[in-house]
Structure 1
Amino acid sequence: MYSYADRLRAVELYLKLGKRVKATIRHLGYPTKNALKSWYREYEPHLDVRVRSVARAPKYSEAGKQAALEHSLVLGRNQSCA
């Protein structure tokens, strides 16, 4: 993970160098081209990068987790190993 300052430094250098990805990466030694482009898209609307990452929605609901737990307790073992 790169810090807020690292990401901001990379985006500002990217702009200073005329949006040249390879030159920016060569100068800093980081990030990947896709990360730099992503940071720039994030920077563009607000002229700043996010301080923290955005939490995503959980993959499984609490009800689904509970149902899976109860199912495995009833069977007593993992069905894929049978």
Structure 2
Amino acid sequence: AALANGSLEDACGTLSPGQHPVCHSDRGCHYRWPGWIGICEGNGLTRSMSKKGCSPDNSACEGFFGRLKNEFFYYRDWDGVTVDSFMELLSGYIVFYNERRKKQSLGWMSPRQYRSSKGLVA
């Protein structure tokens, strides 16, 4: 609970005034505890949970994390890499993924290009 709540509080600390994003999770017990719910309510987050036993609800997230592990994490020598260095490398990968990595399912555009083409990003 402390890890989940702390991560959510850290993420909420990056929100600009007036931002109220949707927080989607599975039905894990830590996402239904009063502490988690209180953090969501206190920061104006809309909670969204997948339906019980409905794995397709999480397929986009599962697919992303699978690609992240295959393209970024596995097959690297992480010996001697500090947590700070790891976080910097991970941030770089996420920027690459969103801004430059082309996806066939998005018409060979990056996620940012695709969202821009649909008027979903400023």
TM range (shorter): under 0.3
Scaled by the length of structure 1, what TM-score is found?
Answer: 0.24
In terms of fraction of residues, the more helix-rich structure is 1
The one of the two structures with greater contact order (alpha-carbon pairs below 8 A, sep at least 6) is 1
